[in-house]
Amino acid sequence: NAGVTQTPKFQVLKTGQSMTLQCAQDMNHNSMYWYRQDPGMGLRLIYYSASEGTTDKGEVPNGYNVSRLNKREFSLRLESAAPSQTSVYFCASSIQSGRVFNEQFFGPGTRLTVL
Amino acid sequence: EDKVVQSPLSLVVHEGDTVTLNCSYEVTNFRSLLWYKQEKKAPTFLFMLTSSGIEKKSGRLSSILDKKELFSILNITATQTGDSAVYLCAVGAAGNKLTFGGGTRVLVKP
């Protein structure tokens, strides 16, 4: 099993360009998440998808959109990149079942620089 | 607004030392507290704590939760250079969402 995979690993954009970060998991998890990590700030939740067909905003959703394409895939789109979106982006997945809380498994990350 | 605060921000120790990391939180609808270790890439899961006063152990690492005082500690005994990493505390709330602290950077010198 590959676990959680993300593409690309690195990306450099110019201000105003758009791009989509891809994430896929092969663990049959129903919930998926997108985080960004900036120095000294831990991880902050951008969007999440509790189950296929649903998406919700997290702590820092402005400037981003997401698509839960199917159970395996959850993409993050930057429509018009800004330098403030320079960060490392992590995708994660977990099993969510009623009130039982389960740990999240993380992908290797995408390092994005916006010039 | 949910908040998780970790201390210290960073520390440097020598191999063999014991390290104690702190995590305090203010979260609505608390479900659990998780510890992750992050080296160069993705965070890797260490512990999940849901009940007060019950210590979880894995080798030289242990952790405990105090739900009355709203904090957790992570202990690492007999530290090794491989323990050098950023340790992240996260609190799980409704919707399986995690709120992360800023992390504690640990450097273990030989």
Q: What is the average pLDDT across B46-72?
A: 93
CA distance B93 to chain A (A): 8
Residues of B in contact with A94 (CB under 8 A): 96
Q: What is the pLDDT of residues A52-94, one digit of tens each?
A: 889 999 999 999 999 998 999 999 999 999 999 999 999 999 9
CA pair distance A38, B22, nearest whole angstrom:
21
B57 Cβ neighbours under 8 A, 6+ residues apart: none
- Identify which of A42, A45, A103 has the shortest CB distance to residue B45: A103
Mean pLDDT, chain B, as a whole number? 93
Cβ-defined contact of B100 to A40 (cutoff 8 Å): no
Does residue B16 register a pLDDT over 90?
yes
Of A22, A37, A90, A45, nearest in space to B95 by CA: A45
Give the span between the Cα atoms of B43 and A47, in whole angstroms.
Answer: 18
Q: Report yes or no: B24 and B71 within 8 Å, Cβ to Cβ.
A: yes
In the prediction, which pLDDT does A40 show? 72
Identify whether the C-beta of residue A102 lies closer than 8 Å to the C-beta of residue A95: yes
pLDDT at B97: 83
Q: Is A26 a residue whose pLDDT tops 90?
A: yes
Chain B residues in contact with A98 by the CB 8 A cut-off are none
Cα separation values, B86 from A32, A41, A66, Å: 23, 12, 28
- Look up residue B104 and give its two tokens: 């504690």
Chain A environment of B9 (Cβ under 8 Å): 40
With bands split at pLDDT 50, 70 and 90, how would you rate the model's confidence at A49? very high
Q: Is the pLDDT of residue A35 over 80?
A: yes
pLDDT > 70 fraction of chain A, expressed in percent and rounded: 99
- What gap in Å lies between CA A93 and CA A90, rounded to an integer? 10
Residue ranges in B25-75 assigned as alpha helix (H)? none
Contact state of A56 with B99 under an 8 Å Cβ cutoff: no
Which are the contacts of A32, defined by CB distance < 8 A and separation ≥ 6? A23, A25, A48, A49, A68, A74, A91, A92, A93
pLDDT > 70 in chain B, percent: 99
**Residue B92: its chain A contacts at CB < 8 A?**
101
Q: How confident is the model at residue B51 (pLDDT cuts 50, 70, 90)?
A: confident
Give me the pLDDT at residue B93, please.
Answer: 82
Tokens of B90: 């996260």
- At which residue do the structure tokens 């450099």 appear? A12
B27–chain A nearest CA distance, Å:
14
